[in-house]
Structure 1
């Protein structure tokens, strides 16, 4: 497979003057897997939906930090691991989707200035970036100045290592043997431009702005408890924000790499019907409890059995901590609705898996792992803690005022011309697929 001529992002920024020029060049230079953009509704109704509200294009993408793009992890990628080739695939992905709000993970500090210039010059976006300490990569949010005001109304960075689940009962935080993770999240409130609202004939009282956030949660395979704790912190913080920036003026979205598959505790606690009882999911509960006993410093694991096939010993103290954490989730009047989990089955039944709560098979694939880790969530207030999620949110537009219009294809790995590898010449420049959804924020 032929790769493009070696060019750094800084050279691309200097070489081209317009979005059309750079996009045309990259389309010809980079061969990528053609992912369909599925429409969920009859195209004849699209004009009416646009008249009834504000259409937003949302993108989440883990771009794979260059410091992690090692040949040992990507033996089939060849020279694509080189930044001079790979950055062109990443730039093409971002230009092709042309999203209004873009949440990125694993953005290299070394190339941050180049990415900011890229977004400002070619996509008319304002950019915000944050990282933990001296970490070599971080999280990044860009949003279109065609639709949004430049200055954030509110912006905050969440340091998961410093946050407690419950200050009144610190055992939920301190009782588990967790490690320092160096993970952060970024959340903000941004307002629509008055000029844009005028063009779509919308009132600020109906759609003043949105809450948006992104994170890259703890990566370790045995970090299930810590990921679940971090997920709680996210929802708690978003609940606090939503009390200040209330609906209908502000809808809330959170996108990112959660490093958690759709059948494990973090997803379960955010998305599925309450009350959450982690012990009902044998596999999830096993990994959650066992992760409290993993010695991260010495890489010593308590896992010796496949929990779906073996009888295992649950440590009583850890069961108590899990129960306390589930109780904390069950008191929180807020929930997440996955755009793909909710609606992808309508457009791609082959890759909407029942055992994955209707999510696709995988958003991440490399030599060491394959699975669904990335999500676009709509965050809604949910005062009824015993609500049946499937029933209440089956018609999302009526229950939340948000209509899902389009979703980008997430291919089955077996359909790729790369023996299931995502980062491969002719497929993609990252080991993650981007996720993209187009939604309408309805007036009523």
Structure 2
């Protein structure tokens, strides 16, 4: 007969009860999440985490891990847009989306093209996230910011309707103060988060800028508005001392003029040339423009008949002074006057890290935009991911994690999620077992510190 165990002391009983209560509180969450996400259907290609620095070695640092991802709204899926995809139905894609979101275990999620909320929200809520969702007028998809409830509580929010925003501070008679070229219904979404365990906070903004490749000016306008509104929002809630993370699908590439404006690089002549043809006014702004009568610009290699409408500007007219569009000097000035340039987590973090590995001839853990597009080392953008969107028609970098440091603070990028290998993305996303969206999730770990007390 086995000897009887001695009775537990009151302290041991209390400790046992506490453990049981903790387990009972945790297990339903795990079981619920597991029941919502099918492991086999959610299988994707594993991506390595690139640890650039040890965050624990940064004294008095405040760590934030953020993930940004355009999920490809189901309401936008068309077979003709993704001819090589083998998973265009929601039931085929959704578990891959959920699995990858939860796998990264980010503190904060910034998601774009979010629809089917009745499916997504139970998954992230079961994993301990609270959220705030916003969408443009009459849009079936929108932007969602989620955050771990054990770490953060909401301290304010703001929705930016780009179409309604003015870009001119003075009212000139007969001049449109909005200075817009297209009624896009795109939005910026801002949420302030107060840490639950320390006297710190962070302002999070996510956006999905206008998609049309030729409307460069309109994207520049929207990017300027987003930065302006983030800065003003911090002031309105009394937290200019909080840093900002601004991430999302910006629909511009690292060699685009808007990227240079955002990160503070001077514009190259070729970038200015790319911007000029987009000084137009679409029929959504000026209904007097007759549909289909004017084709403002087209690629030299495009045939006028049967040209891809995504690559030309149609149903628009050349802008006039009364339309109020910001000139190039005015665009430069508005970005310069909004405080320091934004810093890209990937470009900043990988620049020094991969540079040191290249010097030692080590195997590189990820490829970058600069590996396929020549960008001088003196300019930013070369260390963005090699791809962030990869489809039959579009193979680009469009997504970013930008940082606006606090006035008396600085940020250190301690880790980023590696990119996919190009060969794994063929013949185009979304693909079963690879990625459930046409975009690739980006994630960065950032440590914020104060430079002064």
Q: Secondary structure at the match of 2:214?
A: coil
Spell out, residue by residue over 1:175-210, the C-alpha distance to the aligned partner (whole angstroms, 9 max, x if none). 9671101111111211111xx23xxxxxx2xx2x11
Question: Where do residues 4-83 of structure 1 align in structure 2 (5 Å cutoff)?
Answer: 17-19=28-30, 22=33, 26-41=38-53, 45-49=54-58, 52-78=60-86, 80-83=87-90
The equivalent residue for 1:289 is: 276
Q: Secondary structure at the match of 1:52?
A: coil
1:433 aligns with 2:435: no
Query: What TM-score do the two structures reach when normalised by structure 1?
Result: 0.77
Which of 336, 358, 375 is equivalent to 2:400?
375
CA apart distance, 1:320: 7.4
Compare CA radii of gyration and give the structure with the larger one.
2
Question: Where do residues 128-139 of structure 1 align in structure 2 (5 Å cutoff)?
Answer: 128-139=132-143
Contact conserved, 2:168 with 2:178, CA < 8 A, in 1? no
Q: Which has the higher helix share?
A: 1
Structure 1 segments unaligned to the other structure (5+ residues): 1-15, 198-203, 307-313, 383-398
Structure 2 segments unaligned to the other structure (5+ residues): 1-26, 284-290, 302-317, 355-364, 376-380
Which of 246, 257, 268 is equivalent to 1:265?
257
Q: State the alpha-carbon separation in 2 of the partners of residues 319 and 443 from structure 1.
A: 39
Query: What TM-score do the two structures reach when normalised by structure 2?
Result: 0.76
Spell out, residue by residue over 1:125-155, the C-alpha distance to the aligned partner (whole angstroms, 9 max, x if none). 1111111122110110101111012xx2221
Inter-CA distance 20–418: structure 2 relative to 1 (3 Å threshold): farther
> What is the Cα-based RMSD across aligned positions, in Å?
2.9
The equivalent residue for 2:297 is: 302
Contact conserved, 2:65 with 2:106, CA < 8 A, in 1? yes
The equivalent residue for 1:3 is: none
Inter-CA distance 95–349: structure 2 relative to 1 (3 Å threshold): closer
Contact conserved, 1:129 with 1:140, CA < 8 A, in 2? yes
Spell out, residue by residue over 1:200-254, the C-alpha distance to the aligned partner (whole angstroms, 9 max, x if none). xxxx2xx2x1111101000011110000000110111122133356778412111
1:364 aligns with 2:389: yes
Contact conserved, 2:411 with 2:448, CA < 8 A, in 1? yes
The equivalent residue for 1:13 is: none
The equivalent residue for 2:420 is: 411
1:179 aligns with 2:182: yes
The equivalent residue for 1:11 is: none
Which of 152, 165, 169 is equivalent to 1:163?
165
Q: State the alpha-carbon separation in 2 of the partners of residues 340 and 442 from structure 1.
A: 19
The equivalent residue for 1:213 is: 205
CA apart distance, 1:357: 3.2
Q: Secondary structure at the match of 1:64?
A: coil
Q: State the alpha-carbon separation in 2 of the partners of residues 72 and 120 from structure 1.
A: 34
Which of 352, 361, 368 is equivalent to 1:351?
368
CA apart distance, 1:259: 0.5
Contact conserved, 1:158 with 1:184, CA < 8 A, in 2? yes
Q: Secondary structure at the match of 2:392?
A: coil
Aligned residues: 378
Q: Secondary structure at the match of 2:152?
A: coil
Q: State the alpha-carbon separation in 1 of the partners of residues 88 and 435 from structure 2.
A: 11
Contact conserved, 1:165 with 1:172, CA < 8 A, in 2? no
